[in-house]
Structures are given as structure tokens and as C-alpha cells.
Amino acid sequence: MDELNKIIILGIIQGVAEFLPISSNAHLIMAEQLLDYHNHNEILNLVFHLGSLLAIITYFFSELLGLLKKPKMIFNIVAATIPVIIVGYFVHKFRLINYEYFSIKIIAITLIVFGIILFVSDKINHSKILYKDLNLKGSLIIGLFQIISLIPGVSRSGITLTAGRFLGYSRFEAAKFSFFLSIPTTAGACFLGILDLIKTNNSDLNYIAIIAFIASFLSSYLTIKFFLTFISKFNLNIFVYYRVILGVFILLFI
């Protein structure tokens, strides 16, 4: 398989796994190992994240404009983002987690464990309304949960959705806040990526990077639309089963 096809596959995986509670880091690491393609191109990492960032902004554009009239929600988003931004900066700066060669066995364990936690949280009765009931305490709790997502296999969307469910929000409400949180966190990852490019004086933006961006954007946008429609009608069991089955398969056969 040539490099272009591998990049398209990775871009699609980034877009799909970024917004489903199944861990994009875990799937990208596994895909790179299966495809025998270890991506050391900082520009590609950047455009993958930019594609997802643009997709979430595009999908929620009108609602994001409406947030300008809801300072309380903006404050909650900022409060929930600060913990992971701070911890993520130090993880990135000091390379505390080597994502390129992270143990696939640990990924399997985190897939299973946090899948089970997601299952438990999904059984919580919900009665809270996001714009009305979310306060600083709840935002900080979700923000602290989000720090755990720095470990591959946990899933940022999955752990924030889990936190929201534990706090008593519906799947749709919890997922929406999770998507809102993905904007500053993904923007932060893009900012760090840009800093890395400046430091290495790397500006090799070619057609492969553009295709990677398109693959990531389209798969991200379609996944957001699908997921919000799905959880309006169904529970999260299918994602729990997928995580557990995949984790067990990795532990037994890989």
C-alpha cells in the first residue's frame, strides 16, 4: 500500500475515532503499527487535528455564535479546559507519554476498563439541562476527567461523556458539551503543533497534507452528525462492547 492510501486511512480513522468514545490515539497507534507506517511528519499530525477542528466548528457554527450571548457557558467551557491544557502542555513539553511507541497492551487495558466505566455511567438517570444546570463545580469535574484522556485508549470524547453522564446529563447533552470541549483542546494541540513546526523550520506543506486534511475533515463532520443522531435514539452499549471486544482481542492475539 502506498503512502497516500495510508494517509487517507489514518485521516479517516482520526475523524471517526476523535468523536466516538473509542479513542483516536489508540486507533491511530494501532493503525500505524498494522500499516507499518510510523508518522513522524509534524505537518500531517497538525492537519489531522485541523481537519477535526474545522469540522466541529462548521457543524456547530450557529450554536457557537449563540454562545456569545451565554457567558456562563463560555466560562464553563474554559474552566473544563484549563486542567487538560496545563497537564497536556507538560506532557508534550517533557515527552512524558511516547505516543508513537505506546504499549498496545496498555491500550487494550484502558479500552476495556474505561469502556466498563462508560457502561456504568450510561445507566445513571438524567434530569439536568446543560445550559441551565452546569456550574463551575461540574465543569471542573469534567475537566479533571478529561486529563485522563491523555492516556491512549481512554478517549477524550468517551471520558468527558462519562463524566457528564455521572453528573446526571442526558447522552445528547453530555455529548454536546464534550464536542464543545474538543474545540479548545484540539486548538491547543494545533497550537503546540505549530510551535513544533516553527522550531524545526518545517514548512513542507504538500498535496499529501492537503488530502490528509480533507480526509480528516469529512470523516469528522460525518461522525459528529451520525453520533448525535445515534445517541438521541440508542444507548452507548455498542461502543462499550466494541471497546471490550477489541481490548480482549489485542490482549489475546497481538
Give the integer Cα–Cα distance in Å for 93 and 192: 9
- What pLDDT does residue 19 have? 95
Give the pLDDT confidence of 126-160 residue by residue, as tens digits: 889 999 999 999 999 999 999 999 999 999 999 99
In percent, how much of the chain has pLDDT > 70? 95
Ranking 29-38, 79-88, 139-148, 220-229 by mean pLDDT, the lowest is 29-38
Give the integer Cα–Cα distance in Å for 134 and 203: 42
Closest residue by Cα to residue 101 from 22, 171, 29, 198: 29
Give the pLDDT confidence of 188-218 residue by residue, as tens digits: 888 888 887 777 666 566 788 889 999 999 9
Q: Find the mean pLDDT for residues 159-166.
A: 97
pLDDT at 41 over 70: no
CB proximity list for 190: less than 8 A, separation 6 or greater: 46, 49, 50, 53
Closest residue by Cα to residue 98 from 184, 146, 50, 38: 38
Give the integer Cα–Cα distance in Å for 237 and 243: 10
Full-model pTM: 0.93
- What pLDDT does residue 198 have? 73
Domain ranges of the chain: 3-253
- What pLDDT does residue 208 have? 83
Give the integer Cα–Cα distance in Å for 52 and 69: 25
CA dihedral 131, 136, 139, 145 (to 10 degrees): -160
Q: Find the mean pLDDT for residues 52-56.
A: 97
pLDDT at 225 over 60: yes
